[in-house]
Amino acid sequence: MNILLLYPNLWGRAFTPIGLAMMSSVLKQRGHTVKLFDTTFYSCGEINEQSEGEKYLSYKATDLSKYGVEYEQKDPVEELKGLLGEYKPGLIVFSIFSSHLHSEGEYNMYYHGKNLLNNTGVEGIPVVVGGIVPTVMPEKVLNDGVASMVCRGECEEAIGELADKLARSEDITNIKNIWVKKGNKIYKNDIRPLLQNLDEFPFMDLSIFNDKNFYRPFKGNVYRMIDAELSRGCIYRCDYCVETIMQNLYGYGKEGAANALTKEYHREKSVNRILKEFYFLKEKFNLQFIRFQDSNFLSMREHKLAELSERFPTDVGLPFYIETRPEGLTEKRVSLLKKMGCVGVGMGLEIGSQLYRKDILNRSCKDDTIVQACNYLRKNGMRATTYNIIGFPHETRKDIMQTVELNRRAQPEAMTVAFYSPYLGTPMCDANIERNIMSNDIITLDQKLYTKVNHGSMSNEELVGLRNTFIMYVQAPKIFWPLIYLAEKDNILGKLLYKFFRYLYKP
C-alpha cells in the first residue's frame, strides 16, 4: 500500500525526526511504499526558530543558503493536493511527535496539520495521528474530524499492524495503541507492551527527507547532520516533562516505580547495533554530525560508555551533541564522552531556585552540580548549553534574575531561554488547570512564543523583554545592567540599546 507521512513543521528549521524515520523503515520492512510531505521549507509566515535564536543570542548567525537551503514560495495546500492525486495513498500518517519542541510547538504543529488536511480535502483516505497531542487528548483529536484514528504512545508496531490490515481490508478496530472512530462510536484499545529490545527495529530510513534537511548549523559551522537516538525513555519524573505522560501511559507513574523505570521503561540499543547503524548511515548519507535526542543520554552504564568511547571513534568517527542531566556529568564521564567524539552537551538548568526545582519541578539537582558540570565540559573543550525556562506561575523578576545569576556562575558557552509551557497531561499542567492558571483548551491559544499561563506577577511584555535580554544579563558586567534594563523596552531607546548589546555579545 502507498502510505504518506505528513510532517507539518512550521519552525523554518530542518530536522530529521526520529519517529518519522523509524515509521518509514518499519512500514517499508513490511512491504509498503512510503513518501513524506514536509512543510519545513515552505514559506508559511511563521516563526523561524533559527533566526529567532540568532536574534536572542542563543545561536550563532549562519547562512544556510550557501548549501542550497532555500524556502519555497509555494502553497502547501496545492502541493499536497497534487501529491495526493499523483501518489494516491491508502493511509496518511500525521506525525506530530518531535523531541526538539516544547509543548507549544506540538500543539501548533497539530493545529497547522489539521488545517492543511481540512483545506486539502482528504475524504476517503484514512488518517491516523500519532504523537503527544493524540496521546493526551485522543477523543478531542478524533472529534476534530480530520482523523478517524489516533495512535497513543510508541507507534511503530501499531501503525505497521494498521497498514497491514488496511492493505488486506481486515478489521482495524482492535489494534493495540490505536483508537478508531466509526460514526459516533470510538473503539478504545489498550496499550501494547513496550518493545524491550531496540535492536529488533530496522535502521532509521533517512531517504524520505529532502537533502536540505541534513544541512544544519553548530557553532556557526554547517554540517550534514541528523537527529538520532541510542535509547528511549527517561528514568526521572520531572513534573513538567513529556516523559511523565508516557510513563503514566505505560504504567510506570506509580510510587515505587523507579526500579521499573530503569529496567523496563528506559531501553538502550546494544553497542554493536549502535556501531553498525551509524556507520551505515554515515556512509549512505555522507553524514558529518549527529545530534542525539535521547531524553537523558547518560542514563547508560559507565562501562558501556567506556566501550563506546573506544569503539565509536574508529567504527563510526562522527562528532556529536547530546542532552543529559547535570548529575550524570562527572569528571570521568565527561572524559569518556570527549573520547567518544562528543563536542557539545545540553542540560536543563530550568530555574535558578534550587528549592523551586526540587519542590515544584520534582527535579532534585543542586546549583553546585550544575556549575561543576559546566566546569568539567569547559575543561575538556566541549560546549556546555543550559536550557532555561521563564514565566512560571507567580514567578517574579527577582526569581528570573536568580536564574541569570546561576548561569553567570556556571558560565555555559551557550544558553536557550523558553517560556513556561508544560504539556497537557503533566502533573504541573493539571495543577495549573485546576487552579485556573492555565486554560484546558491550550490548542486554541495564540501559538506565539509566550507563556501560556495567567501569570499574575508579570505581564507578557515584561517576560518578552526579559527573554530578549536574558543572555545579555548573563554575559555583561553588572555595571551595564541598568542599560540592559532599558533595552528590554519596546521603544526607540530600547531598540537602539538592544541592537548595541546584541552586537556586543553576539556568539
Cell output for 122: 482528504
Is 447 a residue whose pLDDT tops 70?
no
Task: Enumerate the CATH 3.20.20.70 domain ranges in the chain, comma separated.
Answer: 214-477
3-state secondary structure 128-169: EEECHHHHHCHHHHHHCCCCCEEECCCCHHHHHHHHHHHHCC
Contacts (Cβ under 8 Å, ≥6 apart) of 53: 59, 416
Q: Of the spans 132-136, 255-259, 302-306, which averages the highest pLDDT?
A: 302-306
Residues of the chain with CATH 3.40.50.280: 2-188
Q: How far apart are CA 50 and CA 52, in angstroms?
A: 5
Question: What is the spatial distance between Cα 129 and Cα 91, in angstroms, rounded to a whole number?
Answer: 11
Q: How far apart are alpha carbons 242 and 239 in whole angstroms?
A: 9
Please name every residue paired with 93 in a beta bridge, in sequence order, or none if there are none: 5, 128
Instruction: Calculate mean pLDDT across residues 76-102.
Output: 84
* pLDDT (0 to 100) of residue 294: 95
Tell me the mean pLDDT in the region 341-361. 95
The predicted model gives 259-275 an average pLDDT of 92
pLDDT band per the 50, 70, 90 thresholds, residue 423? confident
- Top CATH class, 214-477: alpha beta
pLDDT band, residue 100 (cuts 50/70/90): very low
Q: What is the pLDDT of residues 377-408, one digit of tens each?
A: 999 999 999 999 998 888 899 999 999 999 99
What is the CB neighbour count within 10 angstroms for residue 46?
16
pLDDT tens by residue, 161-197: 999 999 999 999 999 999 999 999 999 999 999 999 9
DSSP H helices in 206-301: 242-249, 258-260, 271-285
Q: Can you give the pTM of this predicted structure?
A: 0.94
Q: Greater confidence, 62 or 292?
A: 292
> Residue 452's pLDDT is what?
62
- Strand partners of residue 216: 223
Beta-carbon contacts of residue 455 (< 8 Å; ≥ 6 apart)? 391, 393, 394, 395, 463
Q: What is the mean predicted confidence (pLDDT) over 204-212?
A: 97
Q: 1-30: per-residue pLDDT in tens?
A: 999 999 988 777 788 999 999 999 999 999
pLDDT at 124 over 80: yes
Q: How many CA atoms lie within 13 A of 54 on its CB side?
A: 14
The DSSP code sequence of 375-406 is: HHHHHTT-EEEEEEEE--TT--HHHHHHHHHH
Q: What are phi and psi of 419, to 5 degrees?
A: -85, 145
Nearest to 97 by CA among 35, 33, 176, 150: 150
Residue with the larger pLDDT of the pair 285 and 459: 285
Residue 445's pLDDT is 42
Phi, psi of 109 (to 5 degrees): -65, -40
What pLDDT shows up at residue 54? 83
- pLDDT on residue 430: 83
The fold of 2-188 is Rossmann fold (3.40.50)
With a CB cutoff of 8 Å and minimum separation 6, the contacts of 109 are 8, 9, 10, 96, 98, 101
Q: Are 240 and 429 in contact (CB under 8 A)?
A: yes
